[in-house]
A = this chain, B = another copy of it.
Amino acid sequence: MNTYTAPLKDIRFVLKELAGLEAISRLPGCEEATPEVVDAILDEAARFAGGVLAPLKRSGDLEGAHWQDKGVTPPQGFKEAYRQFADNGWSALPCQPDHGGQGLPKLVAAAVSEMWKSANHAFSLCPMLTMGAIEALELVGSPEQKATYLPKMISGEWTGTMNLTESQAGSDLAAIRTRAVPQGDGTYRLFGQKIFITWGDHDMTDNIVHLVLARTPDAPEGVKGISLFVVPKFLVNADGTLGERNDAWCVSIEEKLGIHASPTCVMAFGDNGGAVGTLVGKENEGLKYMFIMMNAARFAVGMEGLANAEGAYQKALGYARERIQSRAIEGSAGSVAIVHHPDVRRMLMTMKSQVEAMRALAYSVAGIHDLAQHHPEAAERARNQALVDLMIPVVKGWLTETGIEVASLGVQIHGGMGYIEETGAAQFLRDVRITTIYEGTTGIQANDLIGRKIAREGGSTVRALLEMMQATRIEAARQEGDGFAAIAHQLGRGIAAAEQAVDYIVGHYNSDVRVVAAGAVPFLKLMGIVCGGWSMARAALAAQARIQAGETDAFHPAKITTARFFAEHLLPQAPALTEVIIGGGASVLALEDEAL
């Protein structure tokens, strides 16, 4: 039942035509990403995702992870799949070459990760969290820490985790209480309990490298007193062999709505004398390091929204083509496949157009990220970094909210069968439902967007972005045909709605922050929809160029039609959202708490 075919055609189109793969492959440090290498990687990833990971999706969901005193075991087949994953070198893809990484651009890694996430969201979380830990160590680890941990993590021999949350410290890391006591020998002993630790324990690898936020004895209160520690499951001897079992234990796993195969652990550090760890980077700067890594993690979760949406779309489309039910509304001799019914088509187009818009937007942001890291000119790096910082909450928030909507449409298209777990449509909905929550809820993304990313700089980056959109709109308006006319018209209204909302936010954030913040999530959705419409307009223009160049592939006219659908069905929400943002704040806040 769990087939997944990587949408390589659209992935390649977006990489090449929209995300600038060619230019990126010419950047210093990205030279490995030649067209041939990227092509081969994509083919191989598609095979692995469809052949190895997708078949474990439903069985992993049904079986779930198992907890016992001595540790967690994943569902059947996961250990072998993980071994293959590491052996094939997938862990090393975007890592720096110094410790064995392949040094490929983020853009290529994003495309590959979409496939893992579509095929098996629960599985994909293990390498994703490992990647977060690798990036932290690459960034601020000591030479010794790097030498000890990075080669094994990059090779996939060991995995990594991120230990942030405590029961009283969820969105608010200022409330962290885990203690780290220096031992005078350069090591610390950690004491405290962490919750919601993804893949916090398992037996797929010999060791697990926990990165843990904790407070040293004299640390200041709040976020200024948080430090980052590396705490391995097994201590590592000087010669690299494994030593003693460290005092870091998974004491239970959560029963969740979805991603059952991914153990969500309660981790107890130091219940038996203290978990031995070493400080990463400088004392009291842990939160700063987390913030630097957060862009990557939030981008990755946004990709989960896209990936589940793609999987849900494939499943729903397959069902809609096969399921024969009812005559056509315009009359037909017998029953027809439900793909013929206008409302089923509307749902499929709503899924397809949003999947393609999400992919176009996310890959483009990944490409901008590569420019921000590798462009030879500092000014270009800075300009692109500002764009990435602006777009991260949009990618995280809009792709995940949309991923839920698309997965729910997938259930709906299946009718009664969608509610039966065996079908697999419901699993996409259950799995994707976490994505608007972890790595910062949509509300937190939206506050980040309107506050740190827009109001703080008076809206300069977002206005530059809106100007880029205007250029696309003008280009679209120049094309012939009803499709481009509709695209240009609706994109224009969307841009105007976004401009109006930005003016309002910039103008009122300092004087009336509660009222403005009441419209933060509607604004994030507005930005998502307008960015999506812009991305699809860019896609339509690229497709038009291919057509004008004489290509006859039906993919290109379909892309223009899909962009038109997005413009006509999704973009009209933009002005309505601006109304809510500008006029709706007071009634959000008017009731006393008791009257709710």
Contact of A441 among B415, B447, B595 (CB under 8 A): B415
Chain A 407-461 interface residues, beta-carbon cutoff 8 Å to B? 408, 411-412, 415-416, 418-422, 426, 429-430, 433-434, 436-438, 441-443, 446-447
Residues of chain B within 8 A (CB-CB) of A447 are: 329, 343
Indicate the member of A174, A486, A518 with the most B CB atoms within 10 Å: A518
Asked if A325 and B558 sit within 8 Å, CB to CB, the answer is no
Asked if A254 is an interface residue, CB under 8 A from chain B, the answer is yes
Cβ distance A211 to chain B, nearest Cβ, rounded Å: 19
Asked if A415 and B255 sit within 8 Å, CB to CB, the answer is no
Residues of chain B within 8 A (CB-CB) of A165 are: 416
Asked if A172 and B326 sit within 8 Å, CB to CB, the answer is yes
Asked if B589 and A443 sit within 8 Å, CB to CB, the answer is no
Place the interface of chain A in its size category.
Answer: 35 or more
Asked if A285 is an interface residue, CB under 8 A from chain B, the answer is no
Contact of A419 among B257, B564, B589 (CB under 8 A): B257
Segment at the B interface, from A97-105, A125-133, A180-188, A345-353: A345-353
Asked if A572 is an interface residue, CB under 8 A from chain B, the answer is yes
Asked if A175 is an interface residue, CB under 8 A from chain B, the answer is yes
A558 to B593, alpha carbons, bound, how many Å?
A: 11
Segment at the B interface, from A297-305, A499-507, A580-588: A580-588
Asked if A565 is an interface residue, CB under 8 A from chain B, the answer is yes
Asked if A343 and B422 sit within 8 Å, CB to CB, the answer is no
Chain A 322-362 interface residues, beta-carbon cutoff 8 Å to B? 324-327, 329-330, 335, 339-349, 352
Contact of A346 among B170, B558, B575, B588 (CB under 8 A): B588
Chain A 536-574 interface residues, beta-carbon cutoff 8 Å to B? 554-555, 558, 561-562, 564-565, 568-569, 572-573
A195 to B419, alpha carbons, bound, how many Å?
A: 13
A572 to B433, alpha carbons, bound, how many Å?
A: 27
Asked if B416 and A437 sit within 8 Å, CB to CB, the answer is yes
Chain A 308-331 interface residues, beta-carbon cutoff 8 Å to B? 317, 321, 324-327, 329-330
Residues of chain B within 8 A (CB-CB) of A443 are: 341, 343-344, 347, 412
Cβ distance A161 to chain B, nearest Cβ, rounded Å: 16
Residues of chain B within 8 A (CB-CB) of A326 are: 171-172, 174
Given the interface pairs A569-B580, A587-B564, A596-B352, the reply to whether A419 lies near B172 with Cβ below 8 Å is no
Residues of chain B within 8 A (CB-CB) of A37 are: none
Cβ distance A188 to chain B, nearest Cβ, rounded Å: 27
A49 to B575, alpha carbons, bound, how many Å?
A: 43
Interface string of A160-174 (1 = CB under 8 A from B): 000001001011101
Residues of chain B within 8 A (CB-CB) of A429 are: 257, 433
Asked if A576 is an interface residue, CB under 8 A from chain B, the answer is yes
A408 to B509, alpha carbons, bound, how many Å?
A: 29
Cβ distance A203 to chain B, nearest Cβ, rounded Å: 24
Residues of chain B within 8 A (CB-CB) of A554 are: 592, 594-595
Residues of chain B within 8 A (CB-CB) of A575 are: 576
Asked if A256 is an interface residue, CB under 8 A from chain B, the answer is yes
Residues of chain B within 8 A (CB-CB) of A347 are: 443
A587 to B427, alpha carbons, bound, how many Å?
A: 30
Cβ distance A85 to chain B, nearest Cβ, rounded Å: 25
Asked if A343 and B521 sit within 8 Å, CB to CB, the answer is yes
Chain A 248-264 interface residues, beta-carbon cutoff 8 Å to B? 254-258
Residues of chain B within 8 A (CB-CB) of A442 are: 412
Chain A 478-495 interface residues, beta-carbon cutoff 8 Å to B? 486
Residues of chain B within 8 A (CB-CB) of A595 are: 554-555, 558, 561
A521 to B339, alpha carbons, bound, how many Å?
A: 16
Residues of chain B within 8 A (CB-CB) of A379 are: none
A513 to B343, alpha carbons, bound, how many Å?
A: 12
Asked if A590 is an interface residue, CB under 8 A from chain B, the answer is yes
Interface string of A60-100 (1 = CB under 8 A from B): 00000000000000000000000000000000000000000
A519 to B342, alpha carbons, bound, how many Å?
A: 8
Asked if A10 is an interface residue, CB under 8 A from chain B, the answer is no
A446 to B344, alpha carbons, bound, how many Å?
A: 12
Indicate the member of A171, A340, A422 with the most B CB atoms within 10 Å: A171
Asked if A587 and B565 sit within 8 Å, CB to CB, the answer is yes
Asked if A404 is an interface residue, CB under 8 A from chain B, the answer is yes
Asked if A514 is an interface residue, CB under 8 A from chain B, the answer is yes
Asked if B415 and A170 sit within 8 Å, CB to CB, the answer is yes
Asked if B335 and A589 sit within 8 Å, CB to CB, the answer is no
Asked if A576 and B587 sit within 8 Å, CB to CB, the answer is no
Asked if A433 and B419 sit within 8 Å, CB to CB, the answer is yes
Cβ distance A79 to chain B, nearest Cβ, rounded Å: 25
Contact of A561 among B175, B441, B568, B587 (CB under 8 A): B587
Given the interface pairs A349-B587, A596-B352, the reply to whether A420 lies near B256 with Cβ below 8 Å is yes
Output the nearest chain B residue to A560 by Cβ-Cβ distance.
B590
Residues of chain B within 8 A (CB-CB) of A421 are: 255-257
5 of the cross-chain contacts (CB-CB < 8 Å) are A342-B520, A349-B587, A412-B443, A561-B590, A565-B590
Closest 7 CB pairs of A and B: A343-B443, A565-B587, A342-B517, A342-B518, A172-B326, A558-B595, A572-B576
Known: A330-B513, A339-B593, A346-B588. 12 other contacts (CB 8 A): A168-B324, A170-B415, A175-B325, A257-B419, A257-B421, A342-B515, A343-B518, A345-B596, A346-B519, A349-B591, A415-B437, A430-B430
